[in-house]
Chains A and B, each alone.
Chain A
Amino acid sequence: MNFLEYARVALEALRANRLRSALTMLGVIIGVAAVILLVSLGEGTKTYVENQFAGLGSNILIVTPGKIETKGGPPIIGAAKHKLTLSDSRILEKRGYLFHGVAPVVFGTAEVRSGSRSRNVPVLGVTPSFSAVRNLHVEIGTFVTGSDVEAKRRVCVLGRTVKRELFGNANALGRIVKVSGSRFRVVGIMQNKGVSLGIDLDDIVFVPVRTAQDIFDTDALLEILLSVRNKNDIESGKELAKSLLFKNHNRHEDFTITNQAAMLSSLYTILDTLTYVLGGIATISLLVGGIGIMNIMLVTVKERTNEIGIRKAVGARERDILVQFLLESTALSSSGGIGGMFFGVAGAWGIRLLFPKIPVVVPTWAIVLAFTFSVFVGIFFGVYPARKAASLNPIEALRYE
């Protein structure tokens, strides 16, 4: 008996019980679609995060005030300096031979006004090196210069969004804006950068760092960004920065140095794990679909006991019966798999259309894996019913009504 004949018999049997076959397939469809959808969400999240960090180099160290890990007893009161100041960044600049750029950052929010238009935006106090370290560049005009910083000039560089909101399409260079009530001259407009980690990089105003300290009336820094000359020096750079700041802080380690690349790679590990966990959970529903197939195949074998008896009486071998029923269960699961592929990809597409902010990326491997697994499920859960059918005693099978 040739394979096409088996396939024909299997398809006829499925067509004879349309609703039942469709419901059984639905179990597999949901399983495969769930695997594809959830893995796509996981992958999308990962891609999203990767894009967010794409602008950041892998050679960056971030110094923040305060100690994250607590060791030993509580700090002696008055002995610890809890702030990062410009003196720290000067030391790092002067003695940090491994560093390519040292960028102290002051952070605050302020109202920026031009004529009748105003907007509350983050204001970053920076030095010229910030541009290179964070990979953010001016499109028109100049960035904050060294002399701007030294002279505490009231100049500012506007992000794209700020420029558009305040000036529309009009030229902004050389115009005066009021930042927290003080007059600032616009010297540059930044390139379009988009959103990174939930911060709209285009909705920021940059001013010289010492000017920012004046506006916000502080000598504290938000952070100091360090870019290391050579990627391989990232660990020794971290040690160097640590020892320099340790000395400058009266031998207190009241600061934290974060390795951006290390942080990212552990984040990616977490996101990968997330994808696998989501896929794994979805796989359970595919297994449940497989149990549905087994269940319905057992019913089918029971219902068609007489048919099996007839086939055996006219010369069907056990193998013939086995293959016939295995093909039937596999046809169920693989057509469910194809349906699931369709609904999974369509669902991912739908999510992208309806909720553009939710990142969905359908990886080919997930489609192939989900489909292959569904076929495998059909074979695996079909074996027991098919063996049962094949091993029926023909006399009893013929007598069965």
Chain B
Amino acid sequence: MESAPASEPLLLLRGVTKIYEPDGQEVVGLEGVDLDIRSGDFLAVMGPSGSGKSTLMNILGCLDIPTSGSYKIKGMPVARLSPEELARLRNREIGFVFQVFHLLPRYTALRNVELPLLYAGVGREERTERAGEALRAVGILDRRNHLSNQLSGGQKQKVAIARALVNRPSLLLADEPTGNLDTKSGDELMEILVRLNREGTTIVLVTHDQTIARRARNVVYIIDGRLVAKEDFRELRG
């Protein structure tokens, strides 16, 4: 409503298919996924476990490359990028928030948040300053010198969000971010995400929880690697 649709979507997926061959046997992870995500969107991807949600996340996050189909970020075809350029994309354009937090346990909150800046080649002083800002934005600046394994789950996830946002990416990818949190921390976290989106951050959220998905602006449903209509999803889930 408030942001006019851009001429080119931020993320553009056409016929994206991912096939795994773990033991020579083909397993379809995604099949023919078409998806447009525009700047400022807050999209929830819903689906049961094993439906292909994580595969979609990995592809959106440039951790994995589709077997076929095309995926463009800001018009750049990802399939043609070198590992080096993919690392750069992950560093500059994408922020990850994981269900199990994935913070470095022996590092303080501040150093965890500094990590993407380190790989972006940002100098020491600016790193500390920007990481501090990011921690303030999620409301745990006071915990900056705590080791990450001394933090509670909710605090860890806030640090993870700060880390995801510190390099001002185009896209925040959250994979079941409330999955390991109690209800109260989960609600608090969703409020942060909603606020961030209102402030302009594009968010893609993967969840199997209807109440979480409802907080997003749009929801897509995925089953057996295919995007399906909401009605079909209800039907299939019984």
The judgment on whether A and B are partners is yes
Interface residues of A (CB under 8 A from B): 1-2, 5, 12, 16, 306-307, 309-320, 394-395, 398
**Once the chains bind, are A306 and B58 in contact (CB under 8 Å)?**
no
15 CB-based A-B contacts, threshold 8 Å: A1-B118, A12-B106, A16-B106, A309-B102, A310-B104, A311-B115, A312-B63, A312-B87, A312-B90, A313-B90, A314-B90, A315-B90, A315-B116, A315-B167, A398-B98
Contact among A309, A310, A315, A394 with B92 in the assembled complex (CB-CB below 8 Å): A315
Q: Which residues of B contact A1 (CB under 8 A)?
A: 118-119, 121
Closest to B83 in A: A318
Interface residues of B (CB under 8 A from A): 58, 61, 63-64, 83-84, 87-88, 90-92, 96, 98, 102-104, 106, 115-116, 118-121, 163, 167
**Once the chains bind, are B119 and A317 in contact (CB under 8 Å)?**
yes
Contact among A16, A314, A318 with B96 in the assembled complex (CB-CB below 8 Å): A314
Q: How far is the CA of A47 from the CA of B2 in the complex (A)?
A: 89
Given contacts A320-B119, A395-B64, A313 and B83 within 8 Å (CB-CB)? no
Closest to B175 in A: A398
Q: Which residues of B contact A310 (CB under 8 A)?
A: 102-104, 115
Q: Which residues of A contact B98 (CB under 8 A)?
A: 398
Q: Which residues of A contact B83 (CB under 8 A)?
A: 317-318
**Once the chains bind, are A313 and B102 in contact (CB under 8 Å)?**
yes
Q: How far is the CA of A5 from the CA of B120 in the complex (A)?
A: 13
Closest to A2 in B: B121
Closest to A401 in B: B100
**Once the chains bind, are B120 and A315 in contact (CB under 8 Å)?**
yes
Given contacts A1-B121, A311-B119, 9 further A-B contacts (CB under 8 A): A1-B118, A5-B118, A310-B103, A313-B61, A317-B83, A317-B119, A318-B84, A395-B63, A398-B63
Given contacts A1-B119, A395-B58, A395-B64, A316 and B102 within 8 Å (CB-CB)? no
Given contacts A12-B106, A310-B104, A398-B98, A315 and B121 within 8 Å (CB-CB)? no
Q: How far is the CA of A316 from the CA of B167 in the complex (A)?
A: 13
Closest to B115 in A: A314
**Once the chains bind, are A314 and B91 in contact (CB under 8 Å)?**
yes
Q: How far is the CA of A315 from the CA of B96 in the complex (A)?
A: 11
Q: Which residues of B contact A16 (CB under 8 A)?
A: 106
Q: How far is the CA of A394 from the CA of B54 in the complex (A)?
A: 13
Q: Which residues of A contact B103 (CB under 8 A)?
A: 310
Given contacts A309-B102, A395-B58, A315 and B64 within 8 Å (CB-CB)? no
**Once the chains bind, are A317 and B84 in contact (CB under 8 Å)?**
yes
Q: Which residues of B contact A5 (CB under 8 A)?
A: 118
Q: Which residues of A contact B163 (CB under 8 A)?
A: 314
**Once the chains bind, are B63 and A315 in contact (CB under 8 Å)?**
no
Q: Which residues of A contact B84 (CB under 8 A)?
A: 317-319
Q: How far is the CA of A309 from the CA of B96 in the complex (A)?
A: 12
**Once the chains bind, are A314 and B63 in contact (CB under 8 Å)?**
no
Q: Which residues of A contact B58 (CB under 8 A)?
A: 395
**Once the chains bind, are B102 and A315 in contact (CB under 8 Å)?**
no
Q: Which residues of A contact B87 (CB under 8 A)?
A: 312, 315-318
Q: How far is the CA of A363 from the CA of B108 in the complex (A)?
A: 47
**Once the chains bind, are A307 and B104 in contact (CB under 8 Å)?**
yes
Q: Which residues of A contact B119 (CB under 8 A)?
A: 1, 311, 314-317, 320
Q: Which residues of B contact A315 (CB under 8 A)?
A: 87-88, 90-92, 116, 119-120, 167
Q: How far is the CA of A313 from the CA of B106 in the complex (A)?
A: 18
Q: Which residues of A contact B63 (CB under 8 A)?
A: 312-313, 394-395, 398
Q: Which residues of B contact A307 (CB under 8 A)?
A: 104
Q: Which interface residue of A2, A16, A316 has the most chain B CB atoms within 10 A? A: A316
Q: Which interface residue of A309, A315, A316, A319 has the most chain B CB atoms within 10 A? A: A315
Q: Which residues of A contact B116 (CB under 8 A)?
A: 314-315
Q: How far is the CA of A309 from the CA of B118 in the complex (A)?
A: 16
Q: How far is the CA of A398 from the CA of B120 in the complex (A)?
A: 21
Closest to B122 in A: A1
Closest to B54 in A: A395
Closest to B96 in A: A313
Q: Which residues of A contact B106 (CB under 8 A)?
A: 12, 16
Q: How far is the CA of A311 from the CA of B115 in the complex (A)?
A: 8
Closest to B88 in A: A315
Q: How far is the CA of A313 from the CA of B95 in the complex (A)?
A: 9
Q: How far is the CB of B140 from chain A (nearest CB, A)?
A: 18
Closest to A5 in B: B118
Q: How far is the CB of B179 from chain A (nearest CB, A)?
A: 15
**Once the chains bind, are B102 and A398 in contact (CB under 8 Å)?**
yes
Q: Which residues of A contact B88 (CB under 8 A)?
A: 315, 317
The 10 closest A-B pairs by CB, nearest first: A315-B91, A315-B119, A317-B87, A314-B116, A315-B90, A310-B102, A394-B63, A316-B119, A1-B118, A395-B63
Q: How far is the CA of A318 from the CA of B61 in the complex (A)?
A: 17
Q: How far is the CA of A309 from the CA of B103 in the complex (A)?
A: 11
Q: How far is the CB of B4 from chain A (nearest CB, A)?
A: 31
Q: How far is the CA of A310 from the CA of B88 in the complex (A)?
A: 14
Q: How far is the CA of A311 from the CA of B119 in the complex (A)?
A: 9
Q: Which residues of B contact A398 (CB under 8 A)?
A: 63, 98, 102
Closest to B84 in A: A317
Q: How far is the CA of A320 from the CA of B61 in the complex (A)?
A: 19
